[in-house]
Amino acid sequence: MAQPDVLISECGPRDGLQIIREVMPTKDKLAWIGAMHAAGVSEIEVCSFVPPKLMPQMADAAEVVAGSLKLQGLTVLALVPNLRGAEAAIAAGAHKLTIPVSATEEHSLANVRRTRADMVEEVGHIVRMRNERAPHVPVEANVSVAFGCTIAGAVDEDEVIRLAVTLARAGADFTGLSDTTGMGNPAQTRRLFTRLIAEIGERCGAAHMHNTRGLGLANNLAAYEAGVRAFDSSLAGLGGCPHAPGASGNVATEDLVFMFEAMGVDTGIDVARLVAARDVLAAALPEVPLYGMLAPAGLPLGYAPARLQRG
């Protein structure tokens, strides 16, 4: 079968679970990951390797990686904030690592208690360790709060690009941009990714656009039109803040897949099976609201996925 046109990287088990209070049992995480894989999702960010004291939701990271490795053809992606986490992720057998690096000094200090310069250095350490122990494992660095910061406000675009290029020079195989706070707009998204691709070309990583203000899909489309071909999203838009009802997390994967497929852009994912995977999630987290527009509305009459449109 031909390669899909875009890579949809599901980040719910990491991005979604880290901000809800419930700790999902390992077997439920694996059932959810398995249901998404069965729908054709080829890359899933299954966990983060952080100290369990800081994030008890991720205490079973190594087990979740081990269980996910049994799913054929799945790229098992893990978030690592530092060298120690990267060593643990590689020891567990993760196929790919992603490292968040804040665009602003304020967010960096609040989030990881380190400066941006320290984080760039850490990326270099992680790449060197990877080269020795697991040269086949790609390392992605992602500039978080690249479109706006909850502490510093507006973020200088030159600074975002400078940091992204510095991360690529430090050895990151891919460098993407994250709208961690859902503050970005499509014009800004188009500008930033156009500049990033002009600087680093095929090493441009994923667009990671939160849907906090409803612009997630529009921003993803702008990124696609700028040339981005990898997108992070979360089934049922899992995420949001338990203290801010209605504030959603990432753009819902099923909505993003529907948009691309309807446009004739092949994702490799069966959207109806992906919608069905929401039931597995709902059963495991009955208290957590599920977002997304496609699931309640259903697929439109006459819908044809990209592969069928090509005949």
Between 16 and 305, CB nearer to Zn ion = 16
Between 15 and 266, CB nearer to Zn ion = 15
CA 273, 276, 278 angle in degrees (round to 5)?
125
Q: Tell me how far apart the alpha carbons of residues 208 and 33 are, in angstroms, rounded to a whole number.
A: 19
Distance in Å, CB of 194 to Zn ion, minimum: 22
Sequence-distant (≥ 6) Cβ neighbours of residue 244 within 8 angstroms: none
Handedness of CA 257, 260, 263, 269 (dihedral sign): negative
Binding interface with Zn ion (CB under 5 A): 15
- Active-site option among 11, 149, 204, 241: 241
Between 68 and 180, CB nearer to Zn ion = 180
Distance in Å, CB of 100 to Zn ion, minimum: 8
Question: Which residue from 65, 113, 107 is spatially nearest to 88, judged by alpha carbons?
Answer: 65
- Taking CB atoms, the residue at the shortest distance from Zn ion is 15
177 by Cβ neighbours in 10 Å (0-12 / 13-18 / 19+) ranks as buried
Between 291 and 305, CB nearer to Zn ion = 291
Distance in Å, CB of 216 to Zn ion, minimum: 11
Place of tokens 């497929």: 261
Distance in Å, CB of 155 to Zn ion, minimum: 16
11 is catalytic: no
| Count of other CB atoms within 10 angstroms of residue 242 | 12
**Which residues carry out catalysis?**
241
